[in-house]
Chains A and B, each alone.
Chain A
Amino acid sequence: MHTDKGRFIALVALTAALLVPGALAAQGTLDADTIVEKANLAAYYAGADGRSEARMRIIDGQGREQRRQFTVLRRNVEEAGDQQFLVVFSQPSDVRGTTFLVHKHTAGDDDRWLYLPGLDLVKRIAAGDKRTSFVGSHYYYEDVSGRRPDEDTHELVGSEDGMFELVHRPRDPSSVEFAEYTTWIDQETFLPMKIEYRNSTGKPIRRVEVKNVETIQGNPTVTASRISDLESGGYTDMQFRYIAYDLGMPEDLFGERSLRSPASEWLQRPEGR
Chain B
Amino acid sequence: MKEFLLRLSIGRPRLVYLLTFLLVLVTGALMPRIHIDTDPENMLPVDQADRVFHNQVEEWFGLHDAIVVGVVNDGPDGVYTAETLAALHRVSRAILELDGVIRPDLMSLAEADNITQEGPGVLRFEWMMRDAPGTTAQAERIRDAVARLPLVEDTLVSGDGKAAAVYVPIERKDLSYAISREIEALVAEESAAGDWHITGLPVAEDTFGKEMFVQMGISAPLAGLMIFLLMWVFFRNLRLIISPMIVAMGTVIATMGLLIGMGFTVHIMSSMIPIFLMPIAVVDSIHILSEFADHYRQGDDPGKVMKKVVGHLFKPMLFTSLTSAAGFASLLLTPIPPVKVFGAFVAFGILLAFLLTIVFIPAWVVRSSPKSLASLDRLREGADADSALARMLRGVGRFAFSRSGLITTATIIIVAISVAGVLRIQINDNPVRWFKDSHRIRVADAVLNEHFAGTYDAFFVLTHEDPQAWGDFRRAADEALGGAVPPAIAGLLADAPATGELDARLGAIIAMADDLSFDTDDPLLAERLEALMRVAETAQVDARYFQRPEALARIEALQQALADTGLVGKTNALPDVVKVVNRELRSGDDGDYRIPATVPAVAQTLLQYQSSHRPQDLWHMVTPDFTRTAVWLQLTSGDNQDMTRVIEAVDEWLAANPLPENVQGRWAGKTYINVVWQGEMVAGMLDSLMGAFVVVFIMMVLLFRSIPWGIVAMMPLTFTIIGVYGFIGWIGKYYDMPIAVLSSLTLGLSVDFAIHFIQRSRELYRERGSFEAMATAMFEEPARAITRNAIVIALGFTPLFLAPLMPYVTVGGFMASIMVLSGAATLLLLPAVIALGRRVLFRNIKTQGVESHAH
Contact = CB atoms under 8 A, between A and B. Distances in A.
**A, B bound:** yes
Interface of A: 55, 60-62, 64-67, 69, 91-96, 98, 114, 116-119, 121-126, 128-129, 131-137, 141, 174, 200-201, 229, 231-232, 234, 242, 269
A142 B618 CA distance: 22
Interface in B101-118: 103-104, 113, 118
B541 A93 contact: yes
A95 B507 CA distance: 14
Given A114-B123, A174-B131, A94 B615 contact: no
B57 to A, nearest CB: 13
B510 interface: yes
B596 to A, nearest CB: 6
Contacts of B605: 116, 118-119
Contact of B610 (A93, A135, A231): A135
B604 A119 contact: yes
Q: For the complex, would chain B's binding face be called helix, strand, loop or mixed by DSSP majority?
A: helix
Contacts of A269: 518
B405 interface: no
A229 to B, nearest CB: 8
6 closest cross-chain pairs (CB), A and B: A136-B610, A118-B600, A94-B603, A118-B601, A126-B124, A93-B537
B612 interface: yes
B126 A116 contact: no
B585 A128 contact: no
Given A174-B130, A200-B97, A95 B600 contact: yes
Interface stretch (B196-204, B283-291, B619-627, B742-750): B619-627
Interface in B272-324: none
Given A60-B616, A94-B541, A133 B511 contact: no
Contacts of A114: 123, 608
B611 A132 contact: yes
A92 B121 contact: no
Contacts of A126: 118, 122-125
A117 B607 CA distance: 12
A190 to B, nearest CB: 30
B59 interface: yes
B122 A124 contact: yes
A66 B625 CA distance: 8
Nearest to B582: A119
A125 B125 contact: yes
Residue with the greatest number of chain A CB neighbours at <10 A, chosen from B113, B131, B607, B618: B607
A133 B608 CA distance: 10
Contact of A98 (B540, B602, B607): B607
A250 to B, nearest CB: 25
B504 interface: yes
A55 B507 CA distance: 11
16 contacts: A61-B62, A67-B507, A91-B511, A92-B507, A93-B537, A98-B607, A116-B585, A116-B601, A116-B608, A117-B600, A118-B596, A124-B123, A126-B118, A126-B124, A128-B125, A231-B104
Interface string B537-552: 1001100100100000
Interface in B570-608: 582, 585-586, 596, 598-605, 607-608
B58 to A, nearest CB: 11
Contact of B125 (A69, A96, A129, A200): A129
Contacts of B625: 64
Residue with the greatest number of chain B CB neighbours at <10 A, chosen from A55, A96, A128, A269: A128
Contacts of B232: none
A95 B585 contact: no
B613 interface: yes
Residue with the greatest number of chain B CB neighbours at <10 A, chosen from A55, A94, A134: A94
Contacts of B511: 55, 67, 69, 91
B603 A125 contact: no
Given A94-B541, A94-B544, A129-B125, A117 B131 contact: no
B615 to A, nearest CB: 4
B772 to A, nearest CB: 81
A18 to B, nearest CB: 31
Interface string B69-113: 000000000000000000000000000010000011000000001
Task: Kindly state the interface size class of chain B when it binds its partner.
Answer: 35 or more
B127 interface: yes
Contacts of A118: 596, 598-605
A9 to B, nearest CB: 30
A134 B586 contact: no
A119 B601 contact: yes
Contact of B586 (A62, A96, A117, A121): A121
B504 A65 contact: yes
Given A55-B511, A94-B547, A132 B616 contact: no
A119 B586 contact: yes
A201 B125 contact: no
A95 B603 contact: yes
A134 B124 contact: no
Nearest to B613: A132
B611 A64 contact: no
A133 B607 contact: no
B600 A94 contact: yes
B600 A125 contact: no
B612 A93 contact: no
A62 B59 contact: yes
Contacts of A133: 610-613, 615
Contacts of A117: 600, 604
A232 B616 contact: yes
A122 B547 CA distance: 22
Nearest to A123: B123
A95 B544 CA distance: 13
B537 A60 contact: no
Contacts of A96: 600
A225 to B, nearest CB: 17
A92 B543 CA distance: 13
B126 A121 contact: no
B624 A116 contact: no
Contacts of A91: 507, 510-511, 514
B624 A60 contact: yes
Contacts of B623: 64
Given A118-B603, A174-B130, A174-B131, 17 more contacts: A69-B511, A92-B541, A116-B605, A121-B585, A122-B121, A123-B121, A123-B123, A123-B585, A124-B121, A124-B122, A125-B124, A132-B611, A201-B97, A229-B104, A231-B103, A232-B104, A232-B616
Contact of A93 (B124, B540, B615): B540
A123 B588 CA distance: 12
A117 B127 CA distance: 27
A94 B510 CA distance: 13
B116 to A, nearest CB: 8
A161 to B, nearest CB: 33
Given A65-B504, A94-B547, A136 B541 contact: no
A92 B62 CA distance: 24
Contacts of B514: 69, 91
A173 to B, nearest CB: 11
Contacts of A116: 585, 601, 604-605, 608
B604 A95 contact: yes
Interface in B6-53: none
A58 B619 CA distance: 13
Contacts of B602: 118
Nearest to B599: A94
Nearest to B120: A124
Nearest to B584: A123
Contacts of B504: 64-65
Interface in B619-646: 619, 623-625
B581 to A, nearest CB: 10
Contacts of A132: 113, 125, 611-613
A69 to B, nearest CB: 8
A65 B125 contact: no
B613 A131 contact: yes
B586 A66 contact: no
A41 B511 CA distance: 31
